[in-house]
């Protein structure tokens, strides 16, 4: 019995120490994330996730949680009328060489009530792409969302 408890305990402790907490949906699902990954090699694995941070009026960030992008389509709810920082993280691991690397893409999003948002996230053969689209209510024209760094918030806060 002791041999079975110890491995389970180690797994639980390791999961608790990872520092990542799952993001909890807020309100209605207003963000759809479409994910497509392909390393181009059977020896390389790709993991992707998005970290979500709230931004306060002084441009301070507060980590809200992480969504593992382990399915081709995920839906979640993000707060409206308050900016969030979305940090998309791509990690590649090559098993034979024992190497790993990561790259991230971050942007601010100020979600508005009634809008739906779509993030298309892809990683193919060492190239990644993230595009965000806003779908306004009442069939208004679709809006492509430009990448906005956190420094843009800091510049606006100084004015």
In the chain the domains, ranked by start, together with CATH numbers, are 20-158 (2.60.40)
> What pLDDT was estimated at residue 16?
43
The pLDDT of residue 94: 81
> What is the per-residue pLDDT for 12?
36
The model's pLDDT over 76-101, given as tens digits with 9 standing for 90+, comes to: 999 998 899 999 999 888 877 778 88
What value does the mean pLDDT of the chain take? Answer: 84
Strands (E), the chain: 31-38, 44-55, 61-68, 73-76, 84-94, 99-109, 116-124, 127-135, 143-145
Q: How far apart (Å, rounded) are the C-alpha atoms in residues 117 and 53?
A: 17
pTM attached to this predicted model: 0.81
Q: Are 131 and 86 in contact (CB under 8 A)?
A: no
């Amino acid at each position: 019995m002791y041999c079975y408890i110890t491995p389970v305990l180690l797994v639980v402790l390791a999961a608790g120490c990872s520092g990542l907490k799952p993001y909890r949906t807020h309100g209605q699902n207003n963000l759809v994330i479409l994910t497509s990954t392909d390393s181009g090699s059977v020896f390389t694995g790709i993991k992707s996730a998005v970290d979500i941070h709230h931004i306060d009026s002084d441009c301070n960030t507060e980590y809200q949680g992480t969504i593992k992008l382990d399915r081709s389509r995920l839906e979640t709810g993000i707060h409206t009328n308050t900016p969030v920082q979305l940090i998309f993280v791509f990690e590649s691991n090559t098993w034979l060489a024992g190497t790993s690397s990561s790259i991230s893409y971050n942007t601010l999003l100020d979600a508005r009530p009634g809008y739906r948002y779509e993030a298309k996230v892809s990683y193919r053969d060492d190239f990644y792409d993230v595009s965000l689209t806003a779908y306004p209510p009442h069939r208004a024209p679709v809006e492509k969302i430009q990448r906005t760094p956190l420094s843009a918030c800091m510049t606006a806060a100084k004015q």
